[in-house]
């Protein structure tokens, strides 16, 4: 059995940057270091941060004054940073530059009088952060089916959560453009997401089975699994090597491996090593 790994798999620039920023912060501050929610969406990486003394909190009021609070890669609503500073916390912003760009685009659209549609999971912290900058009449949708019950204005701007699929984004733009003449659409799916989705799809052309590695709370990892599943190649998502079931590999000659943008290299390597030790029936 042969194992092939997608050309792009694992940490993207934004995730790597955030982890390096936290490491530097821990080394340079005597104050306690906290993150607001998980820094990235990978439980194993978060566990390593905890071992280094970095604690994750869900509420700023739980952080002692003068402590360091790190804002996560996927960003936060605008008023959160303001509130943190009022509490006397030292704010370190690890928001991914691609997410910051979406924030700026949302603010530009609001200034120009556009109603904003955000394609994404309305409960995801990244989307909540975008919506906080997108005006009172902004709407978050997960697909075209939700447009049927929404009344749109004359001027509509479209943005996407950075981990969305290109196919779904194009469908939303087309559906809105059929109803509204003035549509300003910005494809804000980040290049790392696009690259991983493209390479995952290419993997399915050769693999008999695909294993997608990453946290179950990772939107971009789930998207990779969805893309592979749609090709009808048997696809399985795991967080760690222990979750691999040898029965998945029955009659498999080639196993493809890809991983979300928040998956550490050491986890990917351990999954590959585990697969190589399994002899297909």
Report, as residue numbers or ranges, the catalytic residues. Answer: 126
Assess contact for 169 and 148: CB atoms under 8 A.
Answer: no
Residue 261 CA from chain centroid, whole number: 7
Assess contact for 44 and 240: CB atoms under 8 A.
Answer: yes
> For residue 154, what are its two tokens?
């004359």
Q: Residue 2 has what DSSP assignment?
A: E
Assess contact for 255 and 208: CB atoms under 8 A.
Answer: yes
> For residue 167, what are its two tokens?
């196919």
Helix, strand, coil % in the chain, rounded to nearest 5: 45, 20, 40
In this structure, are strands 182-185 and 55-57 parallel, antiparallel, or unpaired?
Answer: unpaired
Side-chain half-sphere exposure of 53, counting CA atoms within 13 A = 11
* Phi, psi dihedrals of residue 256, rounded to the nearest 5°: -95, 145
Assess contact for 265 and 213: CB atoms under 8 A.
Answer: no
Assess contact for 262 and 213: CB atoms under 8 A.
Answer: no
What's the rounded Cα separation, in Å, for the pair 256 and 119? 29
């Amino acid at each position: 059995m042969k194992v092939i790994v997608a050309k792009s798999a694992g940490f993207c620039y934004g995730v790597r940057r955030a982890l390096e920023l936290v490491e530097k912060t821990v080394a340079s501050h005597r104050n306690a270091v906290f993150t607001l929610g998980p820094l990235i969406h990978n439980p194993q990486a978060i566990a390593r941060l905890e071992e280094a003394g970095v604690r994750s909190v869900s509420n700023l009021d739980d952080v002692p004054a003068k402590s360091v609070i790190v804002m996560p890669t996927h960003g936060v609503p605008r008023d959160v940073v303001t509130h943190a500073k009022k509490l006397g916390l030292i704010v370190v912003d690890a928001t991914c530059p691609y997410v910051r760009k979406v924030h700026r685009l949302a603010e530009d659209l609001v200034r120009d009088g556009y109603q904003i549609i955000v394609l994404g999971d309305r409960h995801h912290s990244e989307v909540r952060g975008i919506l906080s900058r997108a005006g009172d009449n902004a709407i978050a949708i997960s697909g075209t089916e939700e447009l049927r019950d929404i009344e749109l204005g004359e001027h509509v701007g479209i943005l996407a959560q950075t981990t969305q699929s290109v196919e779904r984004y194009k469908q939303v733009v087309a559906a809105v453009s059929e109803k509204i003449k003035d549509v300003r659409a910005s494809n804000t799916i980040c290049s790392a997401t696009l690259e991983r989705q493209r390479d995952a799809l290419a993997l399915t052309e050769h693999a008999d089975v695909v294993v997608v590695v990453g946290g179950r709370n990772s939107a971009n990892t789930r998207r990779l699994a969805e893309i592979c599943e749609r090709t009808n190649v048997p696809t399985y998502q795991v967080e760690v090597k222990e979750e691999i079931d040898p029965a998945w590999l029955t009659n498999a000659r080639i196993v493809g491996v890809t991983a979300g943008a928040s998956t550490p290299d050491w986890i990917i390597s351990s999954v590959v090593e585990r697969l190589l030790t399994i002899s297909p029936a």
